[in-house]
Structure 1
C-alpha cells in the first residue's frame, strides 16, 4: 500500500506561507514574569556595546517556561532567551523539538514582522524583531531568507498536488505544477542576489558572522568541549551544536526531495560505496551527510513532514516513465536547472562574502604587521583574540585545513557538490550533461581567481588567527556565517 500524500496542515505548515508561521511572530511575551527577558532584548545592542550584557544576565533569576501557553509564545521565547539562562532554554527547545542554539528557525522563520498588515510578505514589507548588532545589514541578511520562504511557500501544496496527480497518471496537471515551480525557483534566485542590495560583505564578515557560529568544532575559539549547559542539576553537560545555516531551511530540502535530488557525503561520487573505498577486511569508513544532519536543527513537525514526503515522492519516476512527453520532461528538467542556478548564485555569494573578505583581512593584517610590528595587538579584542605564527609553529602535524561552513563541513567542496548533484536526476540526456557540472560557471571562475590571488600573496604561510565566537577567522579554518543551500 502506498504511503499517503502528506497534508501540510498536519505538520503546522501554511499552504500560503509555507514553513513561515501562519500567525505573526509575537513582538512581546504577555506574562509579566517575562518582562526581564523583554527588557534585555529591547536593550540588547546597548548592553553589548557597553559590555554589561553578561553582568545583567548573571543577576537574572531562573525563570521557568511554565507561563508560555500558545505556540507563538513558545517561539518568541526560543528566539529571544538570553543565552546563559539554560534552564528555560532547554524547556523551550524541548517543546519546539529544536537544539538549544540559534537556528534558522529562530533567526529567520520566527524573527520577522510585516510593516503593513494589508500588504503581502514582499522583501520591502518586512522587518526583523531582533538582531545581534542592530545593523540594517544584519536585518537584510535574515529578511532575504524570510522573503524567499514566503515566495516559495505556495509551491509546497502545489508539488504535493503534483505527487497526487502522478499517482492518478495525470500528466497535464503534473506538467503545469512543475512549470509553476520552475518559475518560482527562478524568482527565488532573483531574491537571493538581492542580498547585495543592503548587506555589505565587510559588515557581514566582521560584525555579523561571529554571532552566527555555534559551538561545534570550536577548539581554536577556546571551546574544545563546546558550551557547558548548566541547568543547576547534576545532569548539566557540555554540548556542541552547529551554527545557523540555510541548510536548515526545510523549503530547500523539500524541493530536493520532491524532485528526486539526492545528496551524498562531501567527496563521494555517484554510485560510489564506502565499501569500495575501504581496505580489504576493514570496516567501511563512517561518512556524514551534512544536509541530512541539518534536519536535526529544524522544528520537529517540519522534520517529520520531510520524512513523510520522502516516503511518498514519485515525481522523478513518473517523469522517467513518461519521458516521451517532451513538455513534461522539459518542465521537470527546468525545475532542476532553476534549483541548480539558485545554488550557483549562492556559491558566488559565499565567494564574495567570505572568501574574498578572508583574503583581504589576512592581507591587511600582514601589511600592518610588516609596517608597524610593535603596534599590533596580541591580546584580547573584545569577543576575540589575535594569534600570530606560522602553521608549523602551532603544530605541523595537522593537515591543512579547509574553509569550513557551519557544522564543520568543507564549505566550497560541499556547495559545489550539492550544486552538481542537483542536475543528476535530469531526464533528457542533453539537459543532464549540461547540468551535471561539466561547464565552468561564473561562481567557479570567481573562486578560482581568489585562490590564485591567495597563493600569489602566500597568505597561507604566515597568517593571523582571530579567535573568538566564530572560531578561527582565517580562510583555512572558519566557522559560522553565510549559510549553505
Structure 2
C-alpha cells in the first residue's frame, strides 16, 4: 500500500512538474546556454549597467536574430525565457515612465515569442521566471538560506532587487509542504478518508504560516523607496497600464500591439492551488483576473490548479460530514490564508501606496515608475481593491455552523 502511495505521489510530481522539496520552484536552474546564444546572456548579465548608461536599446537594436532551435531541454528554454524577459523589460523601461519603448525589435521579439510558445508561457517576464527560475547558490554545497542565495539576473535597485526576488522565492519554497498536503487531501477526499483529509489540511495550514514568516524577511531586505522608485517599473507589463495603453508591438511576430500583464504575486501557482483546494469563491471580476493570471504559469502548474478545482468540493464534503475535528482543520487552514493575505495587503501599503503618495507630494523625484502605478498592480489589477477582495472572499469560506 505504501509503495502504491509513493508511486502515485511520484506520478503527481511528474505530471504537475513539482517536487517535495522545491514545490513549484525550478530545481537547479541553469546559468549558461550554448555558445550560440552568448549575446543574450551578455546583455542579461550586464543589464543594470546597460540600463543605467542608456546603452541597452542600442545594443539590442544591433543584435542578430537568433533561432531558438538549438535549445534542447526544458531548463535551457527556461533560462532563455528568463534572459529574454529581463532584456525585454529593460528595453521597454530603459528611459523610465516618460518614454517606454512601444516596439520590441525583431531580434528580441521573435526568439522570445518562439521560446515562449515551446514553454506554454507568454512572451513577457513572468513570476515563474523572475521568482521561480532566477536563483542560484553562492556556495553550491550550502543550504537555501537568504545569505547563500543570489539572482541569476537583476534589475536596478541593488540589494532591494535581490531581496525582493529571493524573499519571494523563499515564500514559494515554504509553500512546498502545503502543496504536498493539497495532493494528500485531493486523494483522500476521493475515498472519503477523513484522517487523510485532516492531516493534509494540517500540512497546508503549517505551510501557510511558514510562508508568512518568510514573507517578513521583506522588511529586512527590501527598502520601500528603492522598490517603488527603481525596481517596480521593470516588472510592470503592458496591459491595463496607463504608460502603455495600447500594449507593445512585437516586430516580426504581429502587426498589432500585444497586451500582456507584468509579473505579479497573482501568478503564484501555490496560492491559487490553496484557493482551489479550499473552494474560495472570488467575486466575478477578481476571479476572472486570477483565472487570466494562470496563463502566465507553466502549463503543468496550471494543470494542478485546474485538477484541484474539479475535485469533489472539500467545503461541501466537510459540511456533509458534520465532523468537528475536520471542520476545525479546514477553518484553521482558511484563517491562515486570510492572515497571509492580510499581511500581503499591509506590506503592499508600505512598499507601494505610501512611497507612491510621497512621490506624488514631492513631484516624483525619481526616473522610475513615479506616480503612474500608484493604485495599479504590476499585473494590471486595481491593487488595494483586488487585495481586499481576495482577503474578504477567503474569510467568507470559514464554516460558521456549529457541528456536532
Please give the range of the TM-score, normalised by the shorter of the 2 chains.
0.7 to 0.9
- Report SS of the residue matched to 2:172: helix
Match of 2:354 among 356, 367, 377: 356
Determine the structure 2 residue equivalent to 1:34: 37
Question: Aligned equivalents of 1:163 and 1:41: distance in 2?
Answer: 41
Q: Secondary structure at the match of 2:155?
A: coil
Cα distance in 2 for residues equivalent to 1:244 and 1:426: 30
**1:118: how far off?**
3.9
Aligned ranges 1:281-300 → 2 under 5 Å: 289-300=288-299
Give 1:67-466 correspondences, 5 Å limit: 67-81=70-84, 82-83=87-88, 84=104, 85-133=108-156, 135-218=158-241, 220-221=242-243, 223-231=244-252, 235-266=254-285, 289-323=288-322, 325-365=323-363, 403-429=375-401
- Alpha-carbon distance in structure 2 between the residues aligned to 1:247 and 1:129: 23
Distance 1:16 1:402, change over 3 A: closer
* SS at structure 2 position matched to 1:16: coil
Residue 65 of structure 2 corresponds to 62
Tell me: CA distance 1:402–1:25, structure 2 relative to 1, closer, same or farther (3 Å).
closer
CA deviation after TM superposition for structure 1 residue 134, in Å: 5.7
Residues 333, 383 of structure 1: CA spacing in aligned structure 2 closer, same or farther, 3 A cutoff? closer
Structure 2 contact 208–340 (Cα < 8 Å) conserved: yes
Residues in 2 aligned to 1:175 and 1:138: alpha-carbon distance in whole angstroms: 39
Bigger helix share: 2
Deviation at 1:102, TM superposition (A): 1.1
The number of equivalent residue pairs is 375
Residue 66 of structure 1: SS of its match in structure 2?
Answer: helix
Structure 1: 5+ residue runs without aligned partners? 268-287, 369-380, 388-400, 432-485
TM-score by length of 2: 0.86
Pairwise CA distance, 1:237: 2.8
1:7 aligns with 2:6: no
Output one character per residue of 1:205-227: Cα deviation in whole Å (capped at 9) or x when no partner.
10011111111133x42x33211
Change beyond 3 A, Cα 1:430–1:114: farther
Question: In the superposition, relative to structure 1, how do residues 170 and 119 fare at CA in structure 2: closer, same or farther (>3 Å)?
Answer: farther
Structure 1 length as normaliser, TM-score?
0.72
**Deviation of residue 246 (structure 1)?**
0.6
- Report the structure number with the largest CA radius of gyration: 1
- Structure 1 CA distance, aligned partners of 2:29 and 2:353? 34
Q: Distance in 1 between matches of 2:298 and 2:312?
A: 21
Residues in 2 aligned to 1:167 and 1:383: alpha-carbon distance in whole angstroms: 51
- Alignment partner of 1:109: what SS? coil
Deviations 1:82-114 (A, max 9, x none): 324111000111011111111101111110112
Shift of 1:144: 1.2
Aligned counterparts of 2:331 and 2:363: Cα–Cα separation in 1:
47
Equivalents in 1 of 2:163, 2:374: separation in Å?
A: 28
Contact 1:319 1:328 in 2 (8 A): yes
2:198–2:329 CA contact under 8 A, matched in 1: yes
SS at match of 1:289: helix
User: Partner of 2:67: helix, strand, or coil?
Assistant: coil
* Bigger shift: residues 6-15 or 136-145: 6-15
1:25 maps onto 2:24 in alignment = no
Deviation at 1:120, TM superposition (A): 4.0
Question: CA–CA distance in 1 between the matches of 2:345 and 2:384?
Answer: 7
Deviation at residue 67 of structure 1 after TM alignment: 0.9
Distance 1:430 1:195, change over 3 A: farther
Which string of whole-angstrom CA distances, capped at 9 and with x for unpartnered residues, describes residues 168-187 of structure 1? 22222222221222111111
Partner of 1:284 in structure 2? Answer: none
Contact 2:228 2:369 in 1 (8 A): no
- The residue aligned with 2:99 is none
Task: State the distance in 2 between where 1:402 and 1:107 align.
Answer: 22
User: Superposition RMSD on alpha carbons, in Å?
Assistant: 2.5
Displacement of 1:159 in angstroms is 1.8
